Structure formats: C-alpha cells, structure tokens
Amino acid sequence: MGHKRVVLITGANSGFGLLSSLSLAKRGCQVIAAVRDVKKSNELLDRAKREGTSHLIDVIQLDVTREDHIKEAFLYVESQYGQLNVLVNNAGYSAGGMIEKLEIEEWRKQLDTNLFGVITMTKTFLPLLKNGKGAKIINLGSISGRVGFPGLAPYVTSKFAIGGFSESLRLELLPQNIYVCLIEAGSFQTNIWNKGLESVCSKKNGMNDPFFDSIYQQAKQTAAGAQDPAEVIQLIVKISEAKKPKFRYHAGKGVRLLVLFKSILPWSLVEWLINKRLMKKK
C-alpha cells in the first residue's frame, strides 16, 4: 500500500460521491467507492478508466441501511488495507411532502439512510480510522440542517440531526487526533433534488392546495438554478488533505448569508420572509 491515503466514500455511484471519488483518485488516494447497487457503477468506472485512475478505485457493494453490508465492508477494508484515512458519509436522499400527508414509514426510511446510516458507518469504521494518523470523517450536511423548509421536513430533520451528531463526535474524537468535518451545502446539480422533486410531485396528485403548489414551484426553480458541484468536491479534497481541518464548511450561493440572517434576525421576521417568498405571485 505504501503511503497512499485510503478513502471510503458512500453513495459513490452519482453526484458528490462519484465526483469526489474521481477527484481523490486523481490526487493519488486509494478510493473505496461504496455503492448500493454495483450495476449502477458503470459511469464511475468508465470515467475512471478514461482518466487513468481505475487502479485507484475499488468499488464495493454497501447499503448504509443494512448492518450486514457495513460489517462485511469493514472486514474487507481491514483485510485489504488495514487502515482508513478518510470516511466520507455522502449517501442519502431527499424525501418531500407535507407533514400531514407523509406516512410514518417514509420518515423511518429517510432517517434510516440519512442519519442512522451515518452513525452506523462511523461507529463501525472507527477502529480503522484510529489506525490512520490524523484521520478525517467528512459528513455531508446541508443548509437544510440550519434552516427548516416547508415540504422537506423529513430531509430537514435528518440534516439537523447530522449537525448535532457531528458536533458531539468532533469533540469526542479530537483528543484521538481524528477530525470530524461537516459540509453544509446549498442546492447543487445532483440527482438528489430531481428525485426529491419526483417524490413531492407524486404526492401532489389530487391535492388542491395553493401553499403546497407554491412550495413545489419554488423547489422546481431552486433545482433548475442549482450550481455546479465542483465547489463541494474541492472542499472534500481540501479537508481530506488538511492537517487540522476546521469543523464547519459552507458551500453554495447564499448559504453563509442565510445562516447569518437566521442567527441574527428574530424568528418572526424569518418566517415572514419565507412565507412572503413562497406566496408571492408568479
């Protein structure tokens, strides 16, 4: 293995996971690209082949909601590499819809993937992270973990929870020279928003609710104006290479400003501004 840094990335078949796998392989890292369905890893493997990094990308099957998959992945990484320098908890999806219309099972599925998947991955791989000097755990959060948005309650809940989990974990692991970092991203061009919109649209049928319609239209506009994910990929690379990375990183247009506004404005003004934007005439 030499001195290659070993990086494990979940949800590596698309979006941030795919792009960060390719970028870190270009930087000479040994990337373990975890995907829920190996059949969907063709794009990753094809691009790696074209870029000459196939030998640095090891695709494994891993569904973060299945403990047996996570345990098998741990045993594989332990036997093949003996350590882990960077864990990127990227796997996740966005469930949409109004709270009163969402079934409890949809909440459980959302939290099982976005929250408990991250917790289980982190707990399981900690022994290998301790073998990697100055190891990093990079959790993909969201602006939705700082500001609640109507129509996205399950996703928002999962990301608020990831923020709290990451803060506590950071403080617990710092004495062991393991750095936990949270990337709070805005809207970027990844499949998560398209799939989220499909979820919202499926719940739209038969509903005659102007407020819900407005939320749906705002979500479509946000997805249409989503930014290139390069900024987030650069952050993941930067954190993985930093000696002592900070805890919280913001990415995306308007994210820092939105966080600042929520921290200094009274809540009554925050909710007035959100409702005014949602209900304005198109």
> 140-143: long-range contacts at Cβ-Cβ below 8 A with a sequence spacing of 24 or more?
140/16, 140/88, 140/89, 140/90, 140/92, 140/183, 140/185, 140/232, 141/166, 141/182, 141/183, 141/184, 141/185, 142/184, 142/185, 142/186, 143/184, 143/185, 143/186, 143/252, 143/255, 143/258, 143/259
Helix, strand, coil percent content, the chain, rounded in steps of 5: 55, 15, 30
- H or E stretch at 82: none
Beta bridge partners of 179: 136
Place of tokens 């990227």: 90
C-alpha span between 224 and 282 (Å, rounded):
16
Q: Does residue 192 sit in helix, strand or coil? A: helix
- Residue pair 25/39 in contact (Cβ under 8 Å)? The answer is no
Active-site positions read: 155
Count of positions (residues) in the chain? 282
C-alpha span between 192 and 130 (Å, rounded):
32
